[in-house]
Amino acid sequence: MRVISGTCKGKQLKSVPGTSTRPTTDKVKEAIFNMVGPYFNGGRALDLFAGSGGLGIEALSRGIDTCIFVDREPKAIQTIHKNIESCHFKENSEVYRNDSERALKAIIKRELKFELIFLDPPYKKQKLEQLIDFIAEHDLLAEDGVIVAEYGTEDQLQENIKTYTVLKHETYGTTAITIYGKDNSQF
């Protein structure tokens, strides 16, 4: 697992020890950033089921200003800190050990909006549509922001969730990627 492009191109990232976390493959990560980027002129990202932090770190490497990393597993949090440090993104990152719902409620209180939100929950325990609904209800996405949902191909997501609509959808083996944005997005 490595950073594919940007300021940290080629940097190796540590994986979360054990089998509880499934990292996004480099091939899928590259495809995601080809769909939503590939580079950014600032902005804020949220990596909600961060695991090793690979998606958020890739966004930082490609020009996102700041990223909030959230995971509930202690081993994941330790790995995120190590990867952020090795890429010199400590000043651009916030890391929280929390579950997704509580993290989103804390973000609402801070009145933050994001240009990029990554939702990559464990495939068997997902509640992606409810999370996207919650994000829409509380208007956490910037005007031209996107939500990147990664999930197993055996699942299906709705075409429209509140004010968000599917902008792109691709499958890579057993992994599906759906990009959501606001109905009026310039994506």
Domain-located, residue 15: no
Domain-located, residue 5: no
- pLDDT value at position 25? 84
Nearest to 68 by CA among 39, 89, 85, 37: 89
- pLDDT value at position 23? 74
Domain-located, residue 14: no
CATH of the domain at 54: 3.40.50.150
Domain-located, residue 42: yes
Predicted structure pTM score:
0.94
- pLDDT value at position 147? 97
Domain-located, residue 139: yes
Please report, in tens digits, the pLDDT of each residue of the chain (187 residues total).
899 999 999 999 999 987 666 678 889 999 999 999 899 999 999 999 999 999 999 999 999 999 999 999 999 999 999 999 999 999 999 999 999 999 999 999 999 999 999 999 876 657 899 999 999 999 999 999 999 999 999 889 999 999 999 999 999 999 999 999 987 665 5
Phi, psi values for residue 178, rounded to 5°: -125, 130
Domain-located, residue 62: yes
- Are 58 and 6 in contact by the 8 Å Cβ rule? The answer is yes
- pLDDT value at position 187? 55
Domain-located, residue 33: yes
- pLDDT value at position 35? 93
Q: How many domains does the chain have?
A: 1
- pLDDT value at position 18? 78
Which run of H or E residues covers position 82?
A: helix 74-86
- String of DSSP letters for 120-176: ---GGG--HHHHHHHHHHTT-EEEEEEEEEEEETT----SEETTEEEEEEEEETTEE
Range of the domain at 83: 26-182
- pLDDT value at position 26? 87
Domain-located, residue 21: no
